[in-house]
A and B are shown apart, each in its own frame.
Chain A
Amino acid sequence: MADPLVGLVLLPLGWATLAFVLGPGRGAWAALAGIAAQAWLAWLLAAQVGAGGTARHAVGGWGAPLGIDLAADGLSAALLLLTQWLALGVALYARSYFAAGDPARRYFWPLAGFLLAGLNALFVANDLFNLYVTLELVGLAAVGLVAAAGGERQIAAALRYLFAALAGSGLYLFGVALVYGVYGTVSIATLAPLITPEAPRLVWIAGGLMALGLVVKSALFPFHFWLPPAHGGAPAPVSALLSALVVKASFYLLLRLWLGPFAPLAPAAAWLPALLGAAAIFWGSWRAIRAERLKPLIAWSTVAQLGYLFLIFPLLAVPAAFGAGVMQVFAHALAKAALFAAAGVFIQATGQDTVAGLAGAAARLPVTLFAIGLAGMTLAGLPPSAGFLAKWQLIEAALALGHWPIAVVALAGGLMAAVYVFRVLRQAFCLAPAGAPVAAVPRALEWTAFALAAASVLLGFFGVDLMTLIEVRA
């Protein structure tokens, strides 16, 4: 592919189609090859953006506002990089995870491919309506992946998820409609200079609705109701993709709009997401602490961790806050994918999904236990993980602006995260009940989980590189 920007969208579309035609067995190879190529493309793109600034592509050669423009600045490139590499890990995991007869496997690869295509398209989109289409692409593919597991719980969760996603994208679309009505364009680059604080009332309504829609899709408290059943019920590779990437996509979009075209309006509402984020941290952590089963615990932890992302909005005047948001996205994505992958290992090994059930298995699956430990470090924001760097930047930004309550929330949230993480780890150190059967688990599962977790910690040493990349702004 000549242009990595386009290749990152076309490639997954292509292999997803191919995987559907080929069927699940051979489709997996198409998928792995495709994702590997994407990972390389994302790397190229990051290098290109790092060296030459924002990469652009005018689809059809028309250029905005008549045509659709694609653009990748540092933030996009970073998230693309994260998406492809994380997907590579999850794909390797998934290939070993699904047994041959598993109904969830039948359409996993094509759906995952379309999901990745949607995510990539979302990250490079520079057009409000195009973004709507990509949001739907991501949303429907995610729902399909959840539903593919086929159990009653999963279907109910998928349905709930679907309605939340549809409500969210509907709100977003309505906002887009209003914006088009007011300005006659949906190109972000064209819109940016047009929107001023003196914009008509309709623009404020539009911005509010779009933000609300995106907040619903990124499961911010109190719109998180759909997330725990969906992420907690899906098969482990799916949960990993959803928790790590899908909810981040709508957050990315929110951030992009907030910092981009809607920046002149944004300060008015900055505290609302932060308040809800704080509530999410406390409520999500509390539910995670109380959860009986492992995957819902991790899913509730996602609710809490997403809360951090929204704490940055009142602080965006300080660059560290933006860095904190991106770092948290990375840290949480890697750690959460690792946790779900590890949970999948335990479920396969013990055949059950309870925290109590870990007591026997952990001693026999040390690599997985380590994965949980490392990922837990990241979630709790313990050094030297990437999660710690995110927390550091967040607190620093909060102190720089004198908003110390945010710093307190971040610290308290870290402690609560430590409570639920160590609840799991502690169980792992308990004496094993005699005779609990532990099934053999493919090595690949354990090591991919571990690699993801290790990445979430090791990223803590490369914060400078990431921050330099996201400095490249459109």
Chain B
Amino acid sequence: MSMHAWLPLAVLASSLVPGLVIFALPESWIGLRTALNLLGALVKLVLVGLLLAGVAAGEQYGFRHAVLPGLELAFKADALGLLFISLSAVLWLFTTLYAIGYLEGAPHRSRFFGFFSLCVTATMGIAMAGNLFTFFVFYELLTLATFPLVVHRGTPAAMHGGTVYLAYTLAGGAVLLAGIVWLHHLVGHTEFAHGGIAAALGPQYAGQLRIVFLLLIAGVGVKAALVPLHGWLPRAMVAPAPVSALLHAVAVVKAGAFGIVRIVYEVYGVEFAQSLGLLFPLAVAAAVTIVWGSLRALFQDDLKKRLAFSTVSQVAYIALGVALFGPIGTIGGLVHLVHQGIMKITLFFCAGNYAETLGLHKVSELSGVGRRMPATTLAFSIAALGMMGAPLTAGAVSKAWLIEGARAAEMEWVIGVLWTSSLLNAAYFLPILWRAWFRPPPAAWPDEHIPARGRRETAWLLLVPPLVTAAAVVVAGVFAAADWSPLAWAKLIAAREYVTPQ
């Protein structure tokens, strides 16, 4: 087995092995656990870097293992996968740092970090899946590994949230499985390939392929939280903040969105999907989700719930970008995969900081928090502005490309949707910012566990990650034209998907 086969496996192992070891560690071995966590995250970053360099140099990375005759676990590292891998690997490092600070002194930390690492492993698997079967394997693993994190606190609310989460995702998994087996039966394999694999079938299969598409999208749509399959997401917000941050900004919902991308581009092939008339319904579903999520977010007082509905809305941008036939929309969707990730994780980090430092959970309690926690609130503001699509932020870039894409695809109504969404974004974020910066603080905070000492507003492990990611939001927006920006990357991918590069 060559280096080219080992590297993808090593990327998986760099979080799997520490995770398994952490499970076995006694609760009190904090130092070793922390070291393992960070070591895993750093090693993974290095490995991802190697992969990036290799792929950029035109190397092919892949690994295959047959589990049944005609059925293989396949891994490959391509540009699209690497986009997702890099995002996850980087954010994992920050989230780990954040989680170490957040969970200081909490019970069952070995269990928490163990499953946390498993989640990352599953996410890596999803990103590197070389066929739909492998994608599904890790997709289900992700469900299983996140469940213990959702119910981590063991309270009745956590139990309820976990149950709802499982009900949605397992049912979605079953539907997805049905679609995959069907596809496997029709095509004989489920490889991800440029231009898709379904197009090879004759026109007499069009009907079946439409049903399969519906099954597949419904399956991944659960995790991507497409309306009406989004019901689990707000309820899963009972999880600890790092979980909400990583999983509901990056891993889980992105896994769904990423699945939609893979299915449309590499299973059906965007041209073939368009010819079957599948993209338009997808666009409609995404549009409905965008508007509905934003509307619901407007009426949430619970901060994390408001963020969760915002996620519902924002993740659908990706699906929307994919559904806009044409390279520009694609670029918008793909770049939003990254941009939404860094923006939303910043927001969740900040929400976690408010809750952990001052016991603030509700929007209505945030009055004047900007004075008590200026750095956190600054990061929150940047990310929120990004979400609205304010200039110089990452959000502006993705929205701009999406609007262009819609115009190019001659779907002007989408532009309306995007503008409506932006307005609604503003409507649910601006009051928070206003309240945080300009309203007077209360006499006493509800539950202040970390006292302000000098210039330090909270534990530095909680503060650094949101600041870094907030900075990233700005950098991604300002340097969007650079060679190494997510945008450039998305262009590269789109160029490969559409035979005629722009």
- The answer on a CB contact under 8 Å between B171 and A431 is no
Instruction: Give the contact stretch, choosing among B64-72, B380-388, B493-501.
Output: B64-72
Chain B residues closer than 8 Å to A377, beta-carbon distance: 144
Please tell me the size bucket of the interface on B: 35 or more
Interface residues of A in 406-440 (CB under 8 A from B): 407-408, 411-412, 414-415, 418, 422, 425-426, 429-431
- The answer on a CB contact under 8 Å between B68 and A463 is yes
- What 1/0 flags go to B366-399 for Cβ under 8 Å of A? 0000000000000000000000000000000000
- The answer on a CB contact under 8 Å between B67 and A411 is no
Q: Does A147 contact B (CB under 8 A)?
A: no
Across the interface, B73 reaches (CB within 8 A) one of A384, A392, A399, A430, namely A384
Chain A residues closer than 8 Å to B162, beta-carbon distance: 426, 429
A364 to chain B, nearest CB (A): 11
Chain B residues closer than 8 Å to A461, beta-carbon distance: 65, 67, 73
A406 to chain B, nearest CB (A): 12
- The answer on a CB contact under 8 Å between B174 and A430 is no
- What 1/0 flags go to B67-81 for Cβ under 8 Å of A? 111010100000000
Q: Does A382 contact B (CB under 8 A)?
A: yes
Q: Does A389 contact B (CB under 8 A)?
A: yes
- What 1/0 flags go to A197-215 for Cβ under 8 Å of B? 0000000000000000000
- What 1/0 flags go to B145-189 for Cβ under 8 Å of A? 001100110110001001100100011011001100110110000
Size of the chain A interface, CB-CB below 8 angstroms:
39
- The answer on a CB contact under 8 Å between A366 and B23 is yes
Q: Which of B68, B174, B178, B182 is packed against the most chain A CB atoms within 10 Å? A: B68
The residue of chain A having its C-beta at the shortest distance from the C-beta of B180 within the complex is A392
Q: Does A368 contact B (CB under 8 A)?
A: no
Instruction: Give the contact stretch, choosing among B133-141, B257-265, B270-278, B357-365.
Output: B133-141
- The answer on a CB contact under 8 Å between B174 and A384 is no
A407 to chain B, nearest CB (A): 7
In the complex, A461 Cα to B66 Cα: how many Å?
8
A415-B71 CB under 8 A given contacts A363-B108, A366-B23:
no
In the complex, A427 Cα to B196 Cα: how many Å?
44
- The answer on a CB contact under 8 Å between B141 and A383 is yes
Across the interface, B170 reaches (CB within 8 A) one of A323, A408, A418, namely A418
- The answer on a CB contact under 8 Å between A464 and B174 is no
Interface residues of B in 180-207 (CB under 8 A from A): 181-182, 184-185
Q: Does A396 contact B (CB under 8 A)?
A: yes
Q: Does A393 contact B (CB under 8 A)?
A: yes
- The answer on a CB contact under 8 Å between B184 and A426 is no
Q: Does A335 contact B (CB under 8 A)?
A: no
A426-B151 CB under 8 A given contacts A366-B111, A383-B137, A411-B178:
yes
Chain A residues closer than 8 Å to B67, beta-carbon distance: 384, 389, 460-464
- The answer on a CB contact under 8 Å between B69 and A467 is yes
- The answer on a CB contact under 8 Å between B159 and A464 is no
Across the interface, B163 reaches (CB within 8 A) one of A396, A407, A426, namely A426
- The answer on a CB contact under 8 Å between B166 and A422 is yes
Across the interface, A414 reaches (CB within 8 A) one of B148, B154, B159, B174, namely B174
Interface of A is mostly: helix
- The answer on a CB contact under 8 Å between A464 and B151 is no
Q: Does A315 contact B (CB under 8 A)?
A: no
- The answer on a CB contact under 8 Å between B185 and A399 is yes
A415-B170 CB under 8 A given contacts A399-B185, A430-B159:
yes
A418 to chain B, nearest CB (A): 5
Q: Which of B155, B170, B182 is packed against the most chain A CB atoms within 10 Å? A: B170
The residue of chain A having its C-beta at the shortest distance from the C-beta of B136 within the complex is A383
The residue of chain A having its C-beta at the shortest distance from the C-beta of B181 within the complex is A395
Chain A residues closer than 8 Å to B147, beta-carbon distance: 422, 425
Across the interface, B154 reaches (CB within 8 A) one of A366, A389, A431, namely A431
In the complex, A68 Cα to B266 Cα: how many Å?
58
Interface residues of A in 262-311 (CB under 8 A from B): none
The residue of chain A having its C-beta at the shortest distance from the C-beta of B182 within the complex is A399
Chain B residues closer than 8 Å to A373, beta-carbon distance: 144
- The answer on a CB contact under 8 Å between A400 and B141 is no
Interface of B is mostly: helix
Chain A residues closer than 8 Å to B185, beta-carbon distance: 396, 399-400
Chain A residues closer than 8 Å to B171, beta-carbon distance: 415
- The answer on a CB contact under 8 Å between B181 and A382 is no
In the complex, A383 Cα to B151 Cα: how many Å?
21
The residue of chain B having its C-beta at the shortest distance from the C-beta of A462 within the complex is B67
Chain A residues closer than 8 Å to B136, beta-carbon distance: 383
Chain B residues closer than 8 Å to A391, beta-carbon distance: 177
Across the interface, B144 reaches (CB within 8 A) one of A366, A382, A396, A460, namely A382
Interface residues of A in 226-265 (CB under 8 A from B): none
- The answer on a CB contact under 8 Å between A411 and B155 is no
A415-B108 CB under 8 A given contacts A384-B137, A426-B159, A464-B67:
no
- What 1/0 flags go to B287-304 for Cβ under 8 Å of A? 000000000000000000
- What 1/0 flags go to B108-128 for Cβ under 8 Å of A? 100100000000000000000
B19 to chain A, nearest CB (A): 12
A446 to chain B, nearest CB (A): 12
B115 to chain A, nearest CB (A): 11
Chain A residues closer than 8 Å to B144, beta-carbon distance: 373, 377, 382
A396-B174 CB under 8 A given contacts A422-B166, A431-B154, A467-B69:
no
In the complex, A396 Cα to B140 Cα: how many Å?
19
Chain B residues closer than 8 Å to A396, beta-carbon distance: 181, 184-185
A392-B69 CB under 8 A given contacts A383-B140, A384-B141, A429-B154:
no
Across the interface, B68 reaches (CB within 8 A) one of A366, A395, A422, A464, namely A464
A429-B68 CB under 8 A given contacts A396-B184, A399-B181, A407-B178:
no
Chain B residues closer than 8 Å to A431, beta-carbon distance: 154-155
- The answer on a CB contact under 8 Å between B177 and A395 is yes
Across the interface, A389 reaches (CB within 8 A) one of B23, B68, B151, B173, namely B68
Contacts beyond the supplied A366-B111, A431-B155: 7 A-B pairs with Cβ under 8 Å: A366-B23, A396-B185, A399-B181, A400-B185, A411-B174, A460-B67, A464-B66
Please list 24 pairs of residues, one from A and one from B, whose beta carbons are closer than 8 Å in the complex, sorted by A's number: A323-B68, A370-B23, A373-B144, A382-B173, A383-B136, A384-B73, A388-B137, A389-B68, A389-B71, A392-B68, A392-B177, A395-B181, A396-B185, A399-B185, A408-B178, A411-B174, A414-B174, A418-B166, A426-B163, A429-B148, A461-B65, A462-B67, A463-B68, A463-B71
A residues contacting B by CB (< 8 A) are: 323, 363, 366, 370, 373, 377, 380, 382-384, 388-389, 391-393, 395-396, 399-400, 407-408, 411-412, 414-415, 418, 422, 425-426, 429-431, 460-464, 467-468
Pick the 3 closest A-B CB pairs, nearest first.
A383-B137, A463-B68, A431-B154
